[in-house]
A and B are shown apart, each in its own frame.
Chain A
C-alpha cells in the first residue's frame, strides 16, 4: 500500500535552531517524493521535489531509499518558516499521496 507518514504533528523551535521534519513512506516501486508547504492564509504550494536536488529557502531533503525516508532539513530556522509542511508521494499515477502534515512553529 502507498502511504506517507509524518510522525510529528507539531515541531517548535527557536529562530536559528536546526530543523528536521520527518517523513517516511511506503511504496513498492520508485516513487517521486515532494514537500509541500502552506503558510498562514495562503494556498498549498510545492516547496521542493527530490528529483531536482535543490535547496529552496534554505531547505533540503534527501531521499533515502534504504530507510524509505525523505526528511526535510534546514540548518537555521527563520520565523517566516512557520507553516504547515506536507510530505507527498507520487507513484505510477499522477495523484499525490499526502502525509498528515507537520506544523512548524519558529519562535523569535
Chain B
C-alpha cells in the first residue's frame, strides 16, 4: 500500500513569505508526527497529533510555526514570515493505533524548504 506522502517535495521561498507543507499519513494511522532536520543536525521533534488533537507541541520553535490535522488524515504545517534559519528538510511520520508499547513510525520522503 501507499506510504506516507508529503508535498511539495521541494519549496523555495523568500524570507518573510508564508509556506504550507502537507502530509498524508498511511490510512488508518491515528498518530502523526512532524520533525525537522537542519543541515548537519539530527531530526528535531516539532509536534505530535493523536487523531485531530495535538497533545505535544513542545517542539514548535516559535509562534510562527503552527500545524493542524483534519479528520485523522491530512496534516498541514504552516510557517509564517519564514526566516533563513527555517531552511531544513521537514519530515512527517505516522504510526498505527496499537495498544501499549512502541508503534513504529513510518516516515515520508520529506519536504526540503529553502528560504532565500
Determine if A93 and B48 form an interchain contact, defined as CB atoms under 8 angstroms apart: yes
- Give B contacts to A, CB under 8 Å: 3-4, 31, 33, 35, 40-45, 48, 50, 56, 59, 91, 95, 101-110
* Among listed A14-22, A44-52, A53-61, interface-contacting one: A44-52
* A interface size (C-beta, 8 A): 21
- Give A contacts to B, CB under 8 Å: 4, 6, 32, 34, 43-46, 49, 51, 86, 90, 93-101
CA distance A90 to B26 in the complex (A): 21
Determine if B45 and A97 form an interchain contact, defined as CB atoms under 8 angstroms apart: yes
Determine if A44 and B107 form an interchain contact, defined as CB atoms under 8 angstroms apart: yes
> B91 to chain A: closest CB distance in Å?
7
Determine if A98 and B42 form an interchain contact, defined as CB atoms under 8 angstroms apart: yes
> B32 to chain A: closest CB distance in Å?
10
